[in-house]
Amino acid sequence: MALLQQFMCSVTPLARAARSRAIILSCSRTVVTVTKPKTTSPPDSNVLLGMSEEQLQQLAIDFGQQSYRGKQLHHLLYKRRVKDIQEFSQVPLSFRTELQEAGWAVGRSSVHSSVTAADGTIKLLIKLEDNRLVETVGIPVTDDKGSVRLTACVSSQVGCPLRCSFCATGKGGFSRNLKGHEIVEQVLAIEEVFNNRVTNVVFMGMGEPMLNLKEVLAAHRCLNKDVQIGQRMMTISTVGVPNTIKKLASHKLQSTLALSLHAPNQKLREKIVPSAKAYPLEAIMKDCRDYFHETSRRVSFEYTLLAGVNDDVEHAKELAELLHQWGPGYHVNLIPFNPIDGTEYKRPYRKAISIFQSMLESRKITVSVRQTRGLDASAACGQLRNEFQKVPLVEPSNDVVEAELEPEAEPEAVDAC
């Protein structure tokens, strides 16, 4: 013990800054090694992307540099979008070398594959540090004045454990949660491929954001403060995970909550969304009402229209009654089903969609029909990833899912995810 204390007293600022997987303290003849236990998480690495300016300043100080070097790192990461530490030409070579030797990296991944649809939608398949594949989608919209609004639809998990019956992502299996920087880098990748700024971000890609709330919130902070995308231009989607909507509301974000409802009653919802059994409709509606009261931000209800399943006029009437029962501040976003392989669900005819919309509007419900984008680009969420990764990564048991359950702009065409 005395020997260990002797070594600890001599730890340099460089060593304090290096959070490596193994801590090695050595002297002339003795080496003491403390190794972290193996986990199912991605390899721990010291990643700059996702860090705030204050954190980067402290990092510089820990390495014996002036704090302004941290500001330079922030500029290189978020303004110039430099991908490699050795390309940080504004900072001394010695500092760059020390960062790399201590295991630090920028934290940007490569694009494994991309598909471009005729309407300009681009889906990217990003290869992560541990060779997992994750999707992100860029959706451009040009208004009447010629201005381009670019929405990034980002993933929060590699796969998804909730296995909604109409979703391609769940069919591809679940591997792990994404780290905050792995979410942020999706937005940067979209900006690069379009050579344009992302104006809107929707957490509606692969995975359930509320099962990875800590990292989603970290990414949200970075996108807002560092990448400088307004909170009101971001939407966080969920199919409903007990206790998490309350947690999200406590942060008082000025972002939209989008609840994937897909059915006007509990029985039908359980058939479409198996995880709904753990979160009764009455409880989820109460949490959505409380979210509105807590944040003053309206809740958007996503409703995927499945032909002959939930698109009947009676379903529309029942949906309107449900929303009126729980008060104002709601908006319904109708999403015509995006066809995927391996499912019997079909896309409703336009007439059926129009009748459903009209029935809601006649009952004073604010409603929009999402324009479908990217149908020719493996557009349904998870499809492109499944093409490259045929074997499911991990099929989670119900115990795994239950364990996870414990702990101003409208989204644009996010069914392209």
pLDDT at 340: 77
- 143: how many CB neighbours lie within 10 A of its CB? 8
Q: Please report which residue ranges of 299-382 form alpha helices under DSSP H.
A: 313-325, 350-362
Q: Give the span between the Cα atoms of 108 and 93, in whole angstroms.
A: 21
Based on the residue annotation, tell me whether 135 is a catalytic residue of this protein.
yes
pLDDT at 287: 96
Q: E strand or H helix at 258, and its extent?
A: strand 256-260
Tens of pLDDT along the chain (417 residues) come to 444 444 344 444 444 444 433 333 333 333 333 333 333 344 456 999 999 999 999 999 999 999 999 999 999 999 999 999 999 999 999 999 999 999 999 999 999 999 998 889 999 999 999 999 999 999 999 887 878 899 999 999 998 888 777 776 666 678 899 999 999 999 999 999 999 999 999 999 999 999 999 999 999 999 999 999 999 999 999 999 999 999 999 999 999 999 999 999 999 999 999 889 999 999 999 999 999 999 999 899 999 999 999 999 999 999 999 999 998 778 999 999 988 777 889 999 999 999 999 999 999 999 999 877 655 545 555 555 555 554 444 444 444 333 333 334 444 444 445
pLDDT at 32: 33
**Nearest-5° Cα angle at 225, 195 to 245:** 105
pLDDT at 13: 43
- 95: how many CB neighbours lie within 10 A of its CB? 18
pLDDT at 174: 86
Per-residue tokens: 398: 């119900």
- Please identify which of the residues 135, 182, 185, 412 carries the catalytic annotation: 135
- Please identify which of the residues 153, 164, 381, 417 carries the catalytic annotation: 381
Q: Please report which residue ranges of 330-406 form alpha helices under DSSP H.
A: 350-362, 383-388, 398-405
pLDDT at 377: 46
pLDDT at 407: 37
pLDDT at 387: 53
Based on the residue annotation, tell me whether 381 is a catalytic residue of this protein.
yes
pLDDT at 86: 95
pTM of the model: 0.81
